Structure 1
Amino acid sequence: MRKMVWILLSTALIFGLQVGTQAAGSNDVEANVVSIQNAEVPAVQTQGNLTDLTLYFEDFESGAVGWTSYDAGNVGDKWHTDLFNAYAGNSWWMGDPLLGGYDNHWLQYLLTPSLDFTDATNPVLTYKLRYDVEAPGGEPPPYDGWDGCNVWVSTDGGTNWSVINPDFPVYNCANLYSFGLEWGMGPGIAGWGGFSGGWVDAQFDLSAYNGQADVMVRFAFASDPAYCTIDDPLLYGYFVDNVSIDDGALNMLYNDADGTATPAEFSTDNGSATGDYWALTTSSSAPPSPVTSMRCDTYTHYGLSDALESPWIIIPIDPLGTPYLSFWLWCNMMDFTGSGGTSLEDYYHVEISTDGIIWNELFYDYGDNTRPGGWGVGWQQYLEGMQFNGNLTLEIYEGQTVKLRWRVITDWDDNGGAGPTDGLYIDDVEVYTIAGLNNDCGTELMHVPMPTSLYFADIGCSVELHNYGLNDQGMIPAFWRENFVPNPLIPWAAIPAGGMELKTWNWGMPGGVGSYFMDAYTMLTGDEDLTNDTSKAGLVDVTAADVLEFGYDSRQYSYEASIYYFNFETGEGPMIRYSPAADGVTDNMDAVSLKGYWREGGTIRIHIYGEGTTTTPGPQITQFDHLITTIYPAWEEIDLSTIPELQGFNHEVWVFYELLNDAGIPHIYGSDYSNFGTDHMFADFGTGMVQSDYDFFGRLVCGVETAYPSWMIDTWLIGGSPVPSGGGNLDWGVLAENTSGQVLNGDVWIDAVYEGTTTIQVIERALVNYQPGWTINRPDNWYPVPAGWPGGNYEWFVRTGVLPSVIWEEDYFDWSKAGAVDLDFDFEANMPLNAPDPFGDLAMTQVDYTVPTEYAVMGTYPNPFNPTTNISFALPADAKVLLSVYDVSGRLVTTLVDGYRNAGIHDVTFDASDLASGIYLYRLEAGEFNVTGKMVLMK
């Protein structure tokens, strides 16, 4: 159950140039069960009564005609002999040939006949083993694995069983979620999860059961409620072959899956059926259509996976508008998180199938009162835009006949609260289209092109404004946002029906280096469909002026519910063309690294080519193999600094990531669409290198020597050094001139550097409209060095630039103070209260070094982090502070501070113990100051 909890990240395989099914991998039943409003503006409007054409409707008033219900957990026995992936001849395979693997919510056993160990002395179980199941990662404590397999033993003929530990290979999971939570066995069920790497030898010591007359062994597999072969076709299941139990030279059991079975053939079993509790009811029904509805009765019914399946429904090709699903519901299921964690316990899925075999997730939800139709809310209509995952849009199924399915999941208790929590009710199921809206405007393709670096004075951004409606629109209010702060796109656009206008603006990156969430939206009065109003550029990372990060994806990882990985075979892979000059870079650069998002580790072959045409690379510069060790959500960085041809360059660079195995490992992440990748994104899926319709999350990072404004600075020591241990004046002089020929805005400041390790900012002054030729001429300065400062060596720097990190020019002199060295000394708390200002009039200036001079977030440490990090911020005055944490979709995760704080430096701890790995955003608001930054949780 691959759970990227608050990111709501799902993955789907892509074969060739076909996007694979986006199924249960996105069904994040580990998702935060607190209802959180999306920070998108304006809020999503549901369709309401905008239905133009009903394609299917059922209110159950004449019965459930064509509907069927069943216990979806009662899948039958899945262990069987098969040639698929066999070790030799046939092997025992726990899998379904129709699926090519396994589904969610399975519990399957392969059992040996009973054996008599009365006279055994050293019995050993050996067999050939292969497992290809969901990899561990992201489980809620105490679990450390999702789907898994293991071996059990019974000494009473199969009445009682216990897990046994292998000699080899050792179990890599101590607490499997599938056995423990999904099937109610509790923590402590160990087993294997992930991939065995093909067929391996397994061995178990059975001598602990010597003297027992009725010994049985079973090979067990369990899966959780989400993420299976439907999501990842490489999850084949559990295989065993050549099973043998030997007591020295005596063979007690042998089974080769090809007919040799001593002393008897294996048997199979599966998890107990829990029953089908769907039925028509008149106890409650949706307000529009009394008196009958469908209900799944969950009262005292545990371990359910009960399905209600619709008849076949035709979705026409190109119907009059987009097809949607809606229905009425009352989810009277209070035990959605009874154990108090973030794992959903009682909830429901809504699924769709085109063949009645493979079911793909539309969305899942639960009965909290903040959710539609919650237990205390009562009946409510569920419409597109109300879900917090997935969708109710059926556009991709146009031209197909489909079935819909509601599947109710319960755990093994009802500890979620008292009351008549009697199940899920549904009524008035409708598939319909919306077309011909009179007033409907929105945005598409917001673009903040990379590199986003302070190398540029500003970044040219754009967004398309569309009039989707039937009426001409004379004034369409539209806005772009930086960290959810709106900026108007004026003048308001006038767009005829069906038309589009491209709006452009320059973003000056006023916040400097950092992360910014960028989007744009329309706010047409009377807009009849607000779901298409907002377009996102996502999380934009601004780098320093000497760092350039090139890329052509749309940053989908920071706002889409799903990203994808791509399945290439040996010799195939993605290729990205980087064009620095076309991207506005005029200086020569030094390549630093390649960055990429990867699904797993493994060796990849990197080919780097020089400039060619816009569709064909030039000559190969170099190639090398690289071991990927860092996986999403952290970037893998591949060093390029030792490649001579990429030092001091500005030409185009092509990078080809060649796969070295048919398993496609490692898989690169990307998106199933590409907005801005034309002539940049290429792929070879076995048909040669061609333009790709998909984005790949791969970046080229370069360093550049930025041409800063020129200054002449001369600073010198006059006297006073060494300063006595009791303190004294340091006499010094400075002459600084703006020699750039430009009017400058920036800063001039003094830094004292102690023992080469600690930098103390002594004083600073802003340079505003500072004219060419202007000078700072102070030949007779002095500074009162406090007695408390430690002894040792100091450097006195005069610097110009832009605080805190950009230095245009500097000069310094050395000085010292008598006394003992103290590298841990707190200078900030021991600055003199009075000091001369060398950058203004030579007068005494009160300097308060204990209170910050400006609002700032001083950073997060550590970052990346697990599971806690500290957020430090500075307040120059008392202020009301709101410090919040969001996921990358804009949903509020937690509020860390909401109240007044005194001026000074503050530290707040963010504890993400209950969250899943991923990217999170902090947002600080204090007075009129606001800033947003990025944190990476890596578990």
Structure 2
Amino acid sequence: GWDAANVRISTDGGSTWNLLEDNNNPYDFECGYGWIYNDNEYETGGSLNHLAAGWGGISEINNHGWIETWLDFTADLFDYAGQDVIIRFAFGSDPSYSTAQNSDITGFQVDEIKVTDDSGLIFEDNGEDMDQMSPSGEVWTEQFYDYADEGHPGYEDWEEYTPGLAWNGNISMDISDYSGQSILFRIQSRYDDNHDGGQGLGLFIDDFYINKVSGIPAPTDFTAQAGDGVVYLSWTNILFASYNLYREECVNEGCGNGVGELIASSFFTSSYMDLDVSNNTTYAYFITAQFFNGDVTDHSDVVIVTPMVETAHEEGYDDGSFESVYLAGNTNYSAVKFTACSDGEDILRFKWFQFGPVGAFYLKIFEDVDGLPGSEIHSDVLASGNLDGWNELDLSGDNINVSGDFWVGTKEFSTSRPFGLDMSSNYGNSYENTGDGWTMIDGNLGYHVYLDSYNCAECYSTGSGDVTDDGSLDVIDIVAIINALLDINDWLQDDCFVATADVNGDGAVDVTDVVSIAYQIMDARINITDAASATLVKSINDLKINADGYIGGVQMTLEHSEEFSMNITDNAMVADYRTYGNLTKFIIVMPESDELFTYVGDFEIIDMIIVNSKDRIETKLINTPHDYNLQRAYPNPFNPLTTISFSIPEESEVSLSIYNLGGREVASLINDNIEAGYHSITWDANSYSSGVYLVKMIAGEFRSTQKL
């Protein structure tokens, strides 16, 4: 049984209870979950299990789906004659479906209470004009519950438990019904009778808030991604909620203020694909969630996005963050150089970052003459609607076609707001003209353009490294190139991908290009001295690299047996490998330790590239021995010098001593911690008498003796 009801009697003022029964209306079940949910002692073997029976499924159901039938109950109280008793009409419920979900539910009702004996009626309460009955026992009103399980909030770590996350019950956490009352809150943790899933360290609660709000918190993490004639939208799912999606076409100032047309309603997925959009048109979206009780959340953050043709690409040199502000001054110019393909590209949009709203300036587009802005080919006045942050201007209707190098910039008014200046790097493409000609600006101005390369036969992004074509150079591009080098995809068959990834322009894509991208990303944040050479040291179980300076990356191909396995370092910006039969390829970018990988089995290096921040460097390989060995001295016999050689596979405490035939040590040649490798030492026996001696080597468990 689920929700349960029964009748009880107490002779000790309510401390203990016994169950009353009616043979004509027996209870439906022996152990009701409605009791157990509220107290585990109702379970089998518990102290309250004798009270766990109850009624549940009375058959008459009305149109709303709940019981409206009365049950007549009669019990014989003869065993309690002469005693003061309390009669309890008990109800036990879990919160799966209750008044928290539907206020029309009337709950548990009791009426027409009568107690009689042989003399007639001795007690009556009809529930209307009599008040001898009183509520007792639990009066807590369940709000919500959840499970300590993977995928549920707060599982094994702190998480803010916000409206909409609860598994069941008052999901929206709305306690408006208790307005004006003094209330208590109780938080409980409950466990079943086994430990198959463990019980963890317990339930931890902190920072408990009650908020007076104007609405229910909106869906979070609302994002939009534009494609060619499509917009992809996603957000964090809210359990048991449906969604309403709104869209506004941005044609006037003030777009994105939370006013839009409902384009989809009452759907339950946490993503949506909008195909009813036009390229190069800007749209604003927001979303609301609705619960089954009718509650509707506030609307989400507004996201603004512009779908474009597949051949459109954004060009810019800043990293999206601006450490400084820039103003050229009234009537002065600033511009950024861009490059279009030689076949010509259309300028679709101009994008800029400014500090502060409003302001006015001229948009200027120039030809390139000898690497500087030349003749003006387009001009616009932007005098209203400019926002604090990123702004965009639609130029697709102006039919501006450019090829090769060109410049996009501004001419300022006295009312112009400062523009963003990225100081973390300097590509040398931002210039200013304050009256004395064009000069370079230290940093990258926050000016971008969108170009349409539909007519281009060449790769517009040659040498940029931006293989993901998202307008920025980041670790995602590094991972994409590494995946290509490790043959995870077939992008190395794409001429444009190769041209874009070939950052150093040597006609090949390898770890040298990856390191160049990584260095551009890190730029001034690292201070390095490049290595001129390096040594690879192969020991019995690892491969290390020793260098005289900075190592930017390592790329290798290994040949090995099927028994070979490796564990690549995780102390690097990126490290990955792939095994194909008897060959393994790996790439490590910006290693932070000398150990490249550990291994089991054996291998041979058949190809390798070691680079500093810019170029390949000379590298030699040293194979350390696999076993301890004391080699034959040479020459032997000797007079008076001989060389004693030995090898050790790992760093060890080594003792190398000379003894006479009487067993007395006459010379200690080595007694020190020695690194793995091949070693030799010369013994000068000029001060010793001629004869036979013994050389003894001890290293760990290894022992070896030879005659000299």
Q: Which has the higher contact order (CA 8 A, sep 6+)?
A: 1
Higher strand share: 1
> TM-score, normalization: structure 1?
0.20
> TM-score, normalization: structure 2?
0.26
Higher helix share: 2
